[in-house]
Amino acid sequence: MVYEDHILNMPPDSLIQTLNLTFSWSDTSYIDPISKRRIPANKKWVVGDSLIIPVQVPFYEGDGFLVETRQIYQVEEPTKEDLKEVRVVPNPYIARAAWEFDEYNRKIQFTNLPSKCTIYIFNVAGELVQTLHHDNLYDGSENWNLWTSNRQEAAPGLFIWVVKTPDGKKQMGKFTIIR
């Protein structure tokens, strides 16, 4: 079983607390208290192993955490076929739709994006309306607030988008804004 051995460092910042922990591993399996399943112990911690536990609340004496680990994987570069999966939702964007309950927080979302790319949005005249930079290994979506790079609300009409990866792969599509 994994347990906290000792705390090496606890900075005084009350908003963000970082703890450096040393963990030990038992060679026997244990029962998960939530799922009641037997969890085999098949890995030993070695010097240099790291564990990052993001939390959004301060630590208090007696706090405990259940840690789940997953197999490490390598993110692969997107192929041209992967880029064909990029979508814009909703399309068409309808300003007066039932899901638009707040006129100040309108957005469309680009989905199925590669981890790193640039999104160019053009009007039908070929003028660049906005450029979005996406750099997120874990979230393949990027929101656009429907404002141009000139801080103007995007006009209704047809728009062309281009997603470009750092290695030069591109995918194009279109979406419509209806007011």
pLDDT given for residue 96 in this prediction: 76
pTM (2 d.p.): 0.58
**pLDDT digits 0-9 by tens, 90-144:** 889 888 776 666 666 788 999 999 889 999 999 999 999 999 999 887 788 899 9
Superfamily of domain 80-178: Macroglobulin (MG2) domain (2.60.40.1930)
Range(s) of the chain covered by CATH 2.60.40.1930: 80-178
**pLDDT digits 0-9 by tens, 25-42:** 444 555 555 555 555 555
Look up residue 123 and give its two tokens: 């009007």
**pLDDT digits 0-9 by tens, 55-64:** 666 667 766 6
pLDDT given for residue 88 in this prediction: 94
**pLDDT digits 0-9 by tens, 2-13:** 444 444 444 455
What is the band of 68 on the pLDDT scale with cuts at 50, 70, 90? low
Amino acid (1-letter code) at residue 27: D
- Distance, in Å, from the CA atom of 80 to the CA atom of 84, rounded to the nearest integer, reads 7
Locate the DSSP E strands across the chain. 3-9, 20-24, 30-31, 38-39, 87-89, 93-94, 108-111, 116-123, 128-135, 142-144, 157-164, 170-178
* Three-state DSSP class for residue 171: strand
* Three-state DSSP class for residue 147: strand
